[in-house]
């Protein structure tokens, strides 16, 4: 079993939602955190919110789409903490829309998901995760660290209408643990560096609060526990995944019993 006490976490998208909740959990349990997000104002707000839990928080502006930013982030974590034990690449966005929208009167296509709408989500949710994980894992290997890469997938990974961009990026997150665990195994690293993903259902964060209320009510009708998941409930699962070193190479769901996939 691993201990969070004195361990170092790198969290992207750490200025809000699940990332910030994870940072709070980590420092409350005696860990150290490097929080990364797109801008200084959001990081300043996070620092204020985490202050009561001690001095073990560092922040860095990092746009996960930029290779240089990700590399500097990993180097800064090593410089400040001497190692990295948890990698949580949680920066993510949604830009929902149907691939083709049909005009009811004419039956013809009136609108299409733009290339930018597709690519901008993949750039952050998939390529940004690749860059974050690659740079942090390099730091972990070169500095002899033990720990976990914890990705964040989604129940949307099984395919939600209106989220071709997001669902594709999250489906990729559910295959990363298998590929990376196999690669670490081949190189004799799997006992030291594990990789998993958590796949939440609908969590009460800014991302979900952007959904129009009537749509959200319809979603909640499909959730057996009848409410949004609390960010702390996702974080509690991540804590267990970190501590329990038998957990590796798989996706762990936290969705309140939500029927997986889209009803169409």
Q: Considering only residues 4, 11, 27, 37, which one is a binding residue for ligand NAD as defined by CB under 6 A?
A: 37
Coil/strand/helix, residue 116: helix
> In the complex with ligand NAD, which residue's Cβ is closer, 171 or 207?
207
Asked if 160 interacts with ligand NAD (CB under 6 A), we say: no
Using CB atoms within 10 Å of the CB of residue 106, give its burial: 0 to 12 exposed, 13 to 18 middle, 19+ buried. Answer: exposed
Q: Find the shortest distance in angstroms from Cβ 92 to ligand NAD.
A: 2
Contact, 9 vs 40, CB < 8 A?
A: no
> In the complex with ligand NAD, which residue's Cβ is closer, 180 or 223?
223
Asked if 59 interacts with ligand NAD (CB under 6 A), we say: no
Q: Find the shortest distance in angstroms from Cβ 202 to ligand NAD.
A: 5
Q: How far is it, in rounded angstroms, from Cα 231 to Cα 206?
A: 11
Side-chain-facing half-sphere of 71: CA atoms under 13 Å: 3
- Sign of the CA dihedral running 118, 120, 123, 129: negative
Quick one: which H or E segment has residue 32?
Answer: strand 32-37
Give me the 92-131 binding string for ligand NAD, x by CB under 6 A, dash otherwise: xx------------------------------xx--x---
Asked if 64 interacts with ligand NAD (CB under 6 A), we say: yes
Q: Find the shortest distance in angstroms from Cβ 189 to ligand NAD.
A: 25
Side-chain-facing half-sphere of 146: CA atoms under 13 Å: 11
Q: Find the shortest distance in angstroms from Cβ 114 to ligand NAD.
A: 18
Q: Find the shortest distance in angstroms from Cβ 172 to ligand NAD.
A: 12
Q: Considering only residues 207, 220, 247, 260, which one is a binding residue for ligand NAD as defined by CB under 6 A?
A: 207
Q: Considering only residues 122, 175, 208, 219, which one is a binding residue for ligand NAD as defined by CB under 6 A?
A: 208
Do you know the residue count of the chain? 264
- Could you give the C-alpha distances from 86 to 112, 115, 122, in angstroms and in order? 39, 34, 23
Quick one: which H or E segment has residue 8?
Answer: strand 8-12
Question: Which parts of this chain interact with ligand NAD (CB under 6 A)?
Answer: 12-13, 15-19, 37-38, 42, 62-65, 90-93, 124-125, 128, 152, 154, 200, 202-203, 205-208
């Amino acid at each position: 079993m691993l201990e969070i006490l004195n361990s170092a976490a790198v969290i992207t998208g750490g200025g809000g939602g699940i990332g910030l909740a994870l940072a709070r959990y980590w420092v409350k349990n005696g860990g150290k955190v490097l929080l990364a997000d797109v801008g200084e104002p959001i990081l300043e707000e996070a620092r204020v919110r985490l202050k009561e839990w001690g001095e073990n928080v560092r922040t860095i502006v990092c746009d996960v789409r930029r290779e240089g930013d990700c590399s500097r982030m990993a180097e800064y974590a090593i410089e400040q903490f001497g190692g990295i034990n948890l990698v949580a690449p949680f920066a993510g966005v949604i830009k929902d829309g149907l691939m083709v929208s049909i005009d009811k009167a004419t039956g013809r296509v009136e609108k299409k998901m733009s290339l930018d709408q597709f690519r901008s989500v993949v750039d952050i949710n998939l390529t940004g995760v690749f860059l974050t994980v690659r740079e942090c894992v390099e730091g972990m290997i070169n500095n002899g660290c033990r720990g976990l890469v914890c990705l964040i997938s989604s129940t949307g990974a099984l395919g939600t209408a209106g989220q071709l961009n997001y669902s594709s990026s999250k489906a990729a997150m559910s295959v990363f643990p298998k590929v990376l665990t196999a690669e670490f195994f081949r190189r004799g690293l799997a006992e030291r560096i594990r990789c998993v993903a958590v796949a939440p259902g609908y969590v009460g964060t800014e991302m979900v609060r952007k959904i129009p209320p009537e749509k959200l009510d319809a979603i909640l009708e499909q959730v057996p526990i009848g409410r949004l998941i609390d960010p702390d409930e996702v974080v509690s699962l991540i804590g267990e995944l970190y501590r329990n070193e038998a957990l590796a190479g798989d996706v762990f769901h936290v969705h309140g019993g939500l029927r997986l996939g889209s009803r169409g």
